[in-house]
Amino acid sequence: MEIVLGIESSCDETAAALVTGERVVLAQRIASQDEVHRPYGGVVPEIAARAHVERLSPIIAEVLAEAGMTLADLDAVAATAGPGLIGGVMVGLVTAKALAMASDKPLIAINHLEGHALSPRLADATLNFPYLLLLVSGGHCQLLVVEGVGRYRRLATTIDDAMGEAFDKSAKILGLGYPGGPALERLALEGDAKAVRLPRPLLGSEEPHFSFAGLKSAVMRAYQTGEHKHADIAAAFQQAAIDCVIDRTSCALASAGQVTALVVAGGVAANMAVRSALETLAAAHGLRFVAPPLALCTDNAAMIGWAGIERLRMGQNDSLDIAPRPRWPLDESAEPVRGAGVKA
Ligand code: KG4
Ligand code: ZN
């Protein structure tokens, strides 16, 4: 059975994991940099890159030791090669190249988004292609038909902010600190979503694209009136964001063709209210709903190792001179979206 070392360093999590082809995570470590970036209210790329340098080698040594293995036991080394903050991606990819070269094992360069997209298959052996994937994280908000490993058809993306970004910015407005998504979800539990009226950008529009910038600005205005409880604003924001996501996903289902399941992945998939709304939507369409366990939603290396296994099984690996890609769309053929401010 295959064993792959996965490495993730594209944002503010330094992570390593050993994953088997039998879907077992033999060992994993995630060194979060939340504390390092908290004073700045967001991820500082240079500080992140330096923190990855300090932390990555020790945690790789730890996961190997925990599993009682050496590099010789591996079938491949898989690392995130983009998209993400270029300094961090370089640290992970260069480390993976060095390990692959030293142990004479194949290197597999993984698209971070593919890691998220295939992560539900690590947890669920019965999830088959094609499935409709809602990929919602701090940097991305997309609806994709996952047709196979490396085969992604993008149906929608955001024309401004990602969903996690909207959670983080709204949380910042409400003084919840960084990272704000989980804190906002907790505060929303104590609030009344109906107490504050907020817009639902693009609701009902013909194509399934997303927009969150206007919602975030409305949160700012609601906050500045000083008339609302913070918990009510949090609840109203979360409900508005969910209403948008459900409407947009429902729109995408109409053009997705035959799919085996509705699947959610990425950091925002850790949100219980989001999960439960999607579960209801899937049921209404007679579809299975699949969401990875919480630990697989936010950035981790197990999903990178698993994507490595999937690629290894397709007979794919990469040359040691492969370059990191700060931008790397899953569907390279997807057109830029009108209104997204993309320069010609
Ligand atoms: O996938 P991820 O760890 O990193 C990226 O690739 O972006 O996603 C992080 C994002 C952040 O914006 C974070 O606030 C959001 O996911 N997030 C949540 C929750 N947990 C993480 N948003 C809402 N509710 C949550 N429980
Ligand atoms: Zn991510």
Predicted confidence at residue 339, as pLDDT, reads 72
> Residues 241, 323: one domain?
no
Distance CA 258, CA 277 (A): 21
How many Å lie between the centroid of ligand 2 and the Cα of residue 308?
16
Does 235 reside within a domain? yes
Q: What is residue 341's predicted lDDT score, i.e. its pLDDT?
A: 60
Residue 2: other Cβ atoms inside 10 A = 15
47 CA distance to ligand 2 centroid (A)? Answer: 18
Tell how far the Cα of 45 is from the centroid of ligand 2, in angstroms: 15
pTM of the model: 0.95
Residue 343 lies in a domain: no
For CA atoms 111, 115, 117, 118, give the dihedral sign. positive
CA 140 to ligand 2 centroid distance, Å = 8
**What residues are in contact with ligand 1 under a 6 Å CB criterion?**
11, 137-139, 164, 167-168, 179-182, 185, 266-268, 270-271, 298-299
The domain tally of the chain equals 2
Mutate to test the pocket of ligand 1, among 14, 165, 167 (most ligand atoms within 8 A of CB): 167
Instruction: For residue 229, report the distance from its CA to the centre of ligand 1, in Å.
Output: 24
Residue 332: which of 152, 84, 144 has the closest Cα?
Answer: 152
The CATH number of the domain where 256 resides is what?
A: 3.30.420.40
CA distance 176 to 179: 8
Task: Name the amino acid, one letter, at 212.
Answer: F
Q: Are residues 137 and 21 part of one domain?
A: no
Same domain for 150 and 281: yes
Q: Can you tell me which atom of ligand 1 is nearest the CA of 272?
A: 26
Say if CB 211 and CB 202 are below 8 A apart.
yes
Does residue 105 lie within any of the structural domains? Answer: yes
In a domain, 133, yes or no: yes
Which atom of ligand 1 lies at the shortest distance from residue 10's CA? 6
Give the atom of ligand 1 at the shortest distance from the alpha carbon of 185. Answer: 24
The number of C-alpha atoms within 13 Å of 188 and in the hemisphere containing its C-beta is 25
Q: Which of 133, 174, 268 to mutate to test the pocket of ligand 1 (most atoms within 8 A of CB)?
A: 268
* Burial (0-12, 13-18, 19+ Cβ within 10 Å), 22: exposed
Please report, in tens digits, the pLDDT of each residue of the chain (344 residues total): 999 999 999 999 999 999 999 999 999 999 999 899 999 988 999 999 999 999 999 999 999 999 999 999 999 999 999 999 999 999 999 999 999 999 999 999 999 999 999 999 999 999 999 999 999 999 999 999 999 999 999 999 999 999 999 999 999 999 998 889 999 999 999 999 999 999 999 999 999 999 999 999 999 999 999 999 999 999 999 999 999 999 999 999 999 999 999 999 999 999 999 999 999 999 999 999 999 999 999 999 999 999 999 999 999 999 999 999 999 999 999 988 877 765 43
Q: 254 and 284: one domain?
A: yes
Cα(229) to ligand 2 centroid in Å equals 31
Closest CA to ligand 1's atom 22: 181
Identify the pLDDT of residue 178. 81
> Are 142 and 279 contained in the same domain?
yes
341 occurs within a structural domain: no
Provide the pLDDT for residue 41.
Answer: 84
Q: Is the domain of 174 the same as that of 270?
A: yes
Q: Which domain, by its residues, includes 45?
A: 3-117+296-330
Please check whether residues 80 and 136 belong to one and the same domain: no
Tell me, yes or no, whether 140 and 265 share the same domain: yes
- 316 falls within a domain: yes
Q: Which atom of ligand 1 is nearest to the CA of 266?
A: 1
Q: Do 297 and 267 form a contact (C-beta atoms < 8 A)? A: yes
CA 269 to ligand 1 center in whole angstroms: 8
Distance, CA of 210 to CA of 251 (rounded, Å): 11
In terms of domains, do 194 and 286 share one? yes
In 3D, which of 295, 269, 317 has the Cα closest to residue 25? Answer: 295
107 located within any domain:
yes
Residues 70 and 138 in one domain: no
- 86/43 Cα distance (integer angstroms): 13
In whole angstroms, what is the distance from residue 85 CA to residue 12 CA? Answer: 9
**Does 21 lie in the same domain as 159?**
no
Q: Are residues 307 and 223 part of one domain? A: no
Residue 340 lies in a domain: no
